[in-house]
């Protein structure tokens, strides 16, 4: 699995992409979650020339804390400069070293497209097989011999949205938020397709775009050089208006 985050060592606040993380083989105590603060040794990725990409030393992972409140999340996320999908797209097409991760305020969502999952692509199957080969069974001394089976998602979900750039022609971005996976794995199993879709809409439209929220997307592009201009929605960032007001004293 690929993980996007913000690097906060020293006084920096910079995007970082860490790959690979063999989550299914990782014991519970190092299986960090969204909005955890972790410490991990990293090395520049030899196989991925995107400037944010690093390879983690899995054995060095330490979970430091969890940012439970939006206000505390925003103390870190608020430090990275917002951009727009239009700008990221334009830059990525002209420069292979351009930003490949970003936080983009969402101007409007035109629709959420929810379709049955069509199966893994050949590229995805290869990545899954690579991860199996990497299976660090003795990486932690007492690793997991039989990891939970990789489950295909039931639906593929895409946002059609306009970013904050003026004249934005709209973008389609596949939603890869960890929370969507969790929702599908844990809560939608017993529901009919229509009811399951309603639950996804409730979470990712109604709740994430409630009137009191200032919603942005964490977006990222693909390692494949022919797809660098295409950005997926890695996560939905939805603090309320009061969470993003800086404390004055
Ligand atoms: Zn745009």
Q: What is the pLDDT of residue 193?
A: 94
99 Cα to the center of ligand 1, angstroms: 15
- The string of pLDDT tens digits covering residues 223-245 is 888 888 999 999 999 999 999 88
Q: What is the pLDDT of residues 58-76, one digit of tens each?
A: 889 999 999 999 999 999 9
For residue 88, give its domain range: 69-117+153-249
Structural domain contains residue 29:
no
Please give the distance, rounded to the nearest whole angstrom, from the Cα atom of residue 63 to the centre of ligand 1.
Answer: 35
pLDDT of residue 140: 57
CA of 56 to the centre of ligand 1 (A): 32
107 lies in some domain:
yes
Cis-peptide, bond into residue 61, ω within 30° of zero: no
Residue 127, in any domain of the structure: no
Report the alpha-carbon angle 103-202-88, nearest 5: 20
Mean pLDDT of the chain: 90
Q: What is the pTM of this model?
A: 0.91
Distance 179 CA to ligand 1 centre (A): 24
Where are the extended beta strands (E) located within the chain?
3-7, 14-18, 36-39, 42-44, 53-56, 62-66, 101-116, 155-163, 171-174, 216-221, 231-237
- Which carries the bigger pLDDT value, residue 206 or residue 96? 206
Domain-located, residue 82: yes
Inside any domain, residue 59: no
> Residues 87-142: pLDDT tens digits?
999 999 999 889 999 999 999 999 999 999 988 888 888 877 776 666 554 555 55
Residue 4 falls within a domain, yes or no? no
114 C-alpha vs ligand 1 centroid, how far in Å? 21
Cα of 178 from ligand 1 centre, angstroms: 24
The rounded Å distance from CA 103 to ligand 1 centre is 12
**Lowest mean per-residue pLDDT among 16-25, 34-43, 110-119, 145-154:** 145-154
* Residue 227 resides in a domain: yes
What total number of domains does the chain contain? 1
- Inside any domain, residue 209: yes
């Amino acid at each position: 699995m690929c993980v996007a985050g913000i690097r906060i060592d020293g006084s920096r606040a910079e995007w970082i992409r860490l790959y690979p993380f063999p989550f299914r083989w990782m014991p519970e105590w190092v299986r960090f979650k969204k909005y955890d603060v972790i410490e991990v040794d990293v090395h520049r990725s030899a196989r991925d020339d995107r400037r944010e990409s690093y390879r983690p030393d899995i054995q060095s992972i330490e979970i430091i804390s969890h940012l439970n409140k939006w206000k505390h999340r925003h103390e870190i996320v608020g430090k990275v400069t917002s951009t727009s999908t239009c700008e990221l797209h334009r830059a990525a097409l002209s420069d292979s070293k351009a930003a490949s991760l970003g936080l983009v305020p969402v101007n409007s969502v035109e629709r959420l497209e929810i379709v049955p999952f069509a199966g893994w692509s050949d590229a995805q199957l290869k990545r899954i097989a690579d991860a199996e080969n990497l299976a660090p069974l003795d990486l932690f001394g007492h690793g997991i011999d039989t990891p939970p089976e990789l489950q295909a998602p039931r639906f593929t979900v895409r946002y059609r949205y306009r970013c904050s750039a003026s004249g934005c022609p709209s973008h389609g971005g596949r939603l890869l938020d960890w929370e969507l996976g969790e929702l599908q794995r844990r809560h939608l199993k017993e529901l009919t397709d229509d009811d399951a879709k309603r639950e996804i809409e409730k979470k990712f439209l109604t709740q994430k775009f409630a009137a009191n929220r200032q919603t942005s997307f964490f977006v990222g592009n693909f390692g494949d050089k022919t797809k660098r201009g295409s950005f997926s929605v890695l996560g939905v960032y939805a603090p309320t208006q009061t969470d993003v007001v800086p404390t004055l004293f």
